[in-house]
Amino acid sequence: PAFMVVVGISVISFLMIVIVPKITAMFEKQERSLPLITQILIQVCHFAGRYWPAMVLLVLGAFFFWRFWVSRPQGRKSWDRFKLWLPLYRDLYIRVIAGRFARTLGTMLNSGLTMMTSLDVVKTVLQNRVLEEAMDEVKSDVRRGKDLSAPLREVGYFPPLLISMVELGQRSGELDAMLLRVADTYDDEVETNID
C-alpha cells in the first residue's frame, strides 16, 4: 500500500507540475473564459509548481508524524476507530473484517479447536484495536454461557448477515460451515467493490 501511495502522489505531482501548465498555455492562447473548476485547478497547479519543495516537506512531515502517532497504543486505537467511521471506506473495511473473522473462526472450529481458543486466534487476525477489545467482551460473554451471536450484535460493527449466519449455524450445529460460507460471500463482495 505504501508503494502505491508514493506512486500515486508522484503521478499526480507530475501531472500538476509538468502537464497542466502546458495545457494551461494552450487555454491562455485561445483567450476564452474557463469554468470555475478549471480555473481553480490551474491556480492549484501554479501554486504546486512554485512551492513544490515546501509541499514535499509538508507531506513527508505529515507522513512521519502519522507513522509515529499510530505506533503509540492510543494513536493506533484512534486510527482504527477512524477507519470504522470513515464514510465510503467504512463499508468495505467492515466487510473485510467480517470476512476475516468468519474465515478464521470457521477454519479454527472446523479443525476441532474450542470456541474460546478459536476466539483468541480470531482476535489476533482482526488487526483493529477497537475490535480486538470488543472481542475480549465477546469472549467473556461466551464464557458466561451466551450464544456467540448476541455479543457480536452488541459490538455494533459486525454486519447483520454475519450475525444471522452465526445464529443459524449455532441452531443447526453447523457453525463452522456457515462461517466459511459467509466468509466466501464477503470475499466476493469485497472483490466486486474493489473492481
> Over the stretch 81-116, which tens digit does the pLDDT of each residue have?
999 998 888 999 999 999 999 999 999 999 999 999
pLDDT surpassing 80 at residue 4: no
Cα–Cα dist 12/119, whole Å:
43
The mean pLDDT of the chain is 87
> Over the stretch 140-189, which tens digit does the pLDDT of each residue have?
999 998 889 999 999 899 999 999 999 999 998 899 999 999 999 999 98
Range of lowest pLDDT (49-53, 59-63, 127-131): 49-53
Q: Report the pLDDT value the prediction gives residue 2, as an integer from 0 to 100.
A: 63
pLDDT surpassing 70 at residue 1: no
Average pLDDT, integer, range 131-140 = 92
Which residue's entry shows cell 485547478? 41
pLDDT surpassing 60 at residue 39: yes
